A and B are shown apart, each in its own frame.
Chain A
Amino acid sequence: MSLVTRQSTLDALGLRTPTLEQPWTKDEFMDALAKAKASGKYEFAFDPGTAWTGEWYPYAFSPFLQSFGGDIIDRTTYKSAEGKLNGDAGVAFGEWWQGLFKDGYAQATQDPADRDAGFNSGKYAFSWNGNWAAIGTLAAYDDVLFLPAPDFGAGPKIGAASWQFGVSAKSAHPDGAAKFIEFALQDKYLAAFSDGIGLIPATASAAALTENYKPGGKLAVFFDLSAKQALVRPVTPGYVVEAKVFEKALADIANGASVADTLDAAVDEIDADIEKNGNYGF
């Protein structure tokens, strides 16, 4: 994922171009949004993608929380979210998130059509989006920039996700299945897969064979972003509930609910669910 914008936008607003080594700080990012809003050229300065309800919310927005120093759950024990989601860092994140909408930089409710086509038609100055949407944006403009996530204090973070092959324990032909997987994971197929749908290939050697991710390729920057900034979502069966609770908390905060109370309620629900399920084996 990255902060998508255009070189011409940065130039027009007089902003420094952030790099992987020196991403924007929170203040620089908010300053950029303020300038974009003041220019009057955009309907909204920032498009986080609130139209994509569902897993997008935890995937795309929990990295911001993690960059503030909080998290969806305490990853040392995986038994509670207390102090992580509703501690000082969590509340700071919540207030920043609420500020985005209260101060008019982004829309709390967004039409899905705007999410799909808004940035490409000039509605937004900055968009928070993933590599799968990059091809469309590259077609719309010729000076697209994929900037690293801002650093809100604990280092810039972006979401990470991947697809896996698996063999069922009850499979009748485990050897054959394993052989197939080995076959399918050859670099040339990983590369073909990536060229076909635009996702990051799983190995560097496969990346070198692809159109977009080879060194110097149009989307090669995502490879580096992924390597440097990505943080996986919590690795626990309890994530099913945590994701939904987090999504609802963010939506409520965006709509103006009290930050501290909403986060407290979220923590309560997550903790109750974990307890109800015997700590999910942790």
Chain B
Amino acid sequence: MASKFTRSNRVGWLMAGPAAFLIAAFVVLPFIFAIILSFTNQRLISPNPTEFIGLSNYEQLLGVGVLSLEPERDAAGAVLRDAEGVPSYKALRSYTRNNPEYPQFDGMREWFSFQQGDNRTYVLARDVVFMKAIVNTFIFVIVVAPVQAGLALVLALLINQRLKGINLFRAIYFMPVVVSIVVVSLLWRFIYDGSSGLLNNLLGALSFGAIPKVDWLGNPSTALGAIIAMSIWQAVGFHMVIWLSGLQTISPSLYEAAAIEGSSKWQVFRYVTWPGLRNTAVLILIVITMQAFSLFSQIDVMTGGGPLDSTQTIVFQAVERGYGKQDISGGSTISVILFVIVLSISLLQRWLTREKN
């Protein structure tokens, strides 16, 4: 609608200028800084001048290697096995520490390994903790995105009934959203406590003592799950409200038409409700995914990345490295890697959910 009356460079820049300037200074500039810093060895406080070190930080974080070992054999050439029949192999340490034949593996550690017949293949990584952080973050995102979105939808459908006092329930379900995640994490530490936590007590009472006490945050196999559950608890109300609004924009005449045709509840949902929610679904999924990649505060307050790195996340590593260990360049490198991951996922999501006309 460009006309003489709507065209005005001066006004345009005047009104958008402050916002543009602030964002340039406080988002774009630090971001560019992060990229530049990732190629240096900048520290938070240091008398040494900063030097460019190229891709060294990236190599340090992302370096991986693969090593396939044959089993040890005795003098006759037969494979040496231990008591359970598992072949024995030369210690990995001998390849990764001070071995001149394998300089590319120097300093790497085992990330995981698998058997291939009698041979064992080791995948090595230079920073195993960071690899675990990436894996954990992805697990978190892959679990939280559909589960949180799905639960939010279920809640929205529940709240969408015309019952007396339904607004009170809506208000209560939304309440955790306004509470700080730090406060929530502290409270849930009490709930998850291994010896006298509320959750253990509840499970014990419900099962009359059959279910044993679990150290939710101290057990590597349950810690991440515990954090996932708590995070969903805190945020689901927000997405419930967004689903609700999507539900309420579906024209009631469509429902009437379905009722007239005698459709079952499931058919109504599938053919009337769900198509109308498509846009909402896309929005919600994208927002949850991006938020999930930033997982930090809960980890900082509850587990500190442990136990045994089972709750390490990308952002936690970035802060630990950049702020805790004062290695600004390392922290910046992780930030850049995070951005690339988030960007790729966002583009992928947009492509997958594009309007197929």
- Among A107, A251, A278, the residue within 8 A (CB) of B306 is A251
Interface residue ranges of B325-350 to A (CB < 8 Å)? 325-327
Return chain B residues, CB-CB under 8 Å to A240. 325-326
B308 touches A109 (CB 8 A): no
- Binary per-residue interface labels of chain A (242-275) against chain B in the complex, 1 for a CB within 8 Å, 0 otherwise: 0010001001100111001100110010001100
Is B193 a contact of A264 with CB atoms below 8 Å? no
Is A138 in contact with chain B by the CB < 8 A criterion? Answer: no
CA distance A112 to B217 in the complex (A): 13
A264–B91 alpha-carbon span in the complex (Å): 14
Contact with A along B294-317 (1 / 0, CB 8 A): 000000000011111100000000
Q: In the complex, which residues of chain A have a beta carbon less than 8 angstroms from the beta carbon of B128? A: 265
Q: Separation in Å of the B51 CB from the closest CB of chain A? A: 10
Q: Measured between alpha carbons, how far is A114 from B218 in the docked complex, in Å?
A: 14
CA distance A278 to B53 in the complex (A): 13
With A240-B326, A244-B324 as contacts: A277 and B43 at CB distance below 8 Å? yes
Bitwise interface map of A from 30 to 51 toward B, beta carbon under 8 Å scored 1, else 0: 0000000000000100000000
Contact, CB under 8 Å: B308 / A252: yes
Can you list 14 residue pairs at the A/B interface with Cβ under 8 Å? A43-B195, A109-B218, A111-B197, A240-B325, A241-B327, A244-B324, A244-B325, A251-B304, A255-B218, A255-B220, A268-B107, A272-B60, A276-B327, A277-B46
Taking the complex as formed, is A186 at the interface, i.e. its CB lies under 8 A from any CB of chain B?
no
Mark each residue of chain B from 177 to 212: 1 if its CB lies under 8 Å from any CB of chain A, else 0.
000000000000110011111000000000000000
User: What's the Cα separation between A113 and B189 when bound, in Å?
Assistant: 10
* B270 proximal to A (CB < 8 A): no
Instruction: Tell me, yes or no, whether B278 is within 8 Å of chain A by CB.
Output: no
A53 within 8 A of B: yes
User: B109 at the A/B interface (Cβ < 8 Å)?
Assistant: yes
> Which residue of A114, A251, A268 is within 8 Å of B195 (Cβ)?
A114
A108 touches B (CB below 8 Å): yes
Indicate if the CB atoms of A111 and B304 lie closer than 8 Å. Answer: no
Q: Is B93 an interface residue (CB 8 A)?
A: yes
The answer to whether A261 and B109 touch across the interface, beta carbons within 8 angstroms, is: yes
CB-CB nearest 8 A-B residue pairs: A109-B218, A255-B307, A111-B193, A255-B308, A241-B325, A53-B304, A251-B306, A278-B48
Complex: how many Å from CA A108 to CA B327? 29
Neighbour of A276 across the interface among B41, B110, B218, B307, CB < 8 A: B41
CB within 8 A of A264: which of B97, B215, B220, B305?
Answer: B97
Q: Mark out the residues of chain B between 1 and 58 whose CB falls within 8 Å of any chain A CB in the assembled complex.
A: 41, 43, 46-48
Q: Which residue of A lies closest to B320 (CB)?
A: A244
Q: Which residues of the partner chain A approach B107 to less than 8 Å between Cβ atoms?
A: 268, 272
CB distance from A79 to the nearest CB of B (A): 15
Chain B's nearest CB lies how many Å from the CB of A202?
Answer: 28
Interface residues contributed by chain A, number (CB under 8 Å): 29
A264-B93, A278-B48 known; A111 vs B308 contact (CB < 8 Å): no
B325→A108 contact, CB < 8 A: no
State A240–B45 Cα separation when bound (angstroms): 12
Residues of A contacting B324 with CB < 8 Å? 244
Instruction: Tell me which residues across on chain B come within 8 A of A251, comparing CB atoms.
Output: 304, 306-307
Bound CA–CA A213/B189 (angstroms) = 37
Residues of chain B touching chain A, judged by Cβ–Cβ distance below 8 Å, are: 41, 43, 46-48, 60, 93, 97, 107, 109-110, 128, 189-190, 193-197, 215, 217-218, 220, 304-309, 320, 324-327
How far is B198's CA from A111's CA once the two chains are assembled, in angstroms? 13
Shortest distance between the CB of B41 and any CB in chain A (Å): 6
CA distance A240 to B325 in the complex (A): 6
Q: Which residues of A contact B220 (CB under 8 A)?
A: 255
Report A54 CB to chain B, min CB distance, Å.
Answer: 9
> Pick the contact of B309 from A111, A241, A252, A264 — CB < 8 Å?
A252
Complex Cα gap A43–B196 (Å):
12
Residues of A within 8 A of B326 (CB): 240-241
**A276: B residues at CB distance < 8 A:** 41, 327
Provide the bound-state CA to CA distance between A256 and B215, in Å: 15
B residues less than 8 Å from A113 (CB atoms): 190, 193
Which residue of chain B has the shortest Cβ distance to A251 in the bound complex? B306
Question: How far is A53 from B309 in the complex, measured between Cα atoms in Å?
Answer: 15
Could you tell me the distance in whole angstroms from the C-beta of A177 to the nearest C-beta in chain B? Answer: 22
**A278 shortest CB reach to chain B, Å:** 5
- Give CA–CA (A244, B304) in the complex, Å: 11
Query: From A50, which residue of chain B is reached at the shortest CB distance?
Result: B218
B215 touches A277 (CB 8 A): no
Instruction: Give A149 Cβ to nearest chain B Cβ, in Å.
Output: 26
Q: Are B189 and A111 in contact (CB under 8 A)?
A: yes
Per the bound structure, the CA–CA distance linking A272 and B43 in Å amounts to 14
Report the Cα distance A168→B97, complex, angstroms.
Answer: 44
A9 to B71, CA, bound (A): 53
Given contacts A252-B307, A276-B41, 20 further A-B contacts (CB under 8 A): A107-B194, A109-B194, A109-B215, A109-B217, A109-B218, A109-B307, A111-B190, A111-B194, A241-B326, A248-B305, A255-B220, A255-B307, A255-B308, A256-B308, A257-B308, A265-B128, A268-B107, A272-B60, A272-B107, A278-B48
User: When the two chains form their complex, are residues B325 and A273 in contact, meaning their CB atoms are under 8 A apart?
Assistant: yes
Q: Which residues of B contact A281 (CB under 8 A)?
A: 47
Q: Which residues of the partner chain B approach A278 to less than 8 Å between Cβ atoms?
A: 48
With a cutoff of 8 Å between Cβ atoms, the chain A residues found around residue B190 in the complex are: 111, 113
Shortest beta-carbon distance, A2 to chain B, in Å?
26
Residues in B whose Cβ lies below 8 Å from that of A257: 308
Q: How far is the CB of A174 from chain B (nearest CB, A)?
A: 22
Whole-angstrom CA separation of A241 from B330 in the bound complex:
13
Chain A hits for B43, CB < 8 A: 277
Tell me, rounded to whole Å, the shortest Cβ–Cβ distance linking A150 to chain B.
26
A175 to chain B: closest CB distance in Å? 27
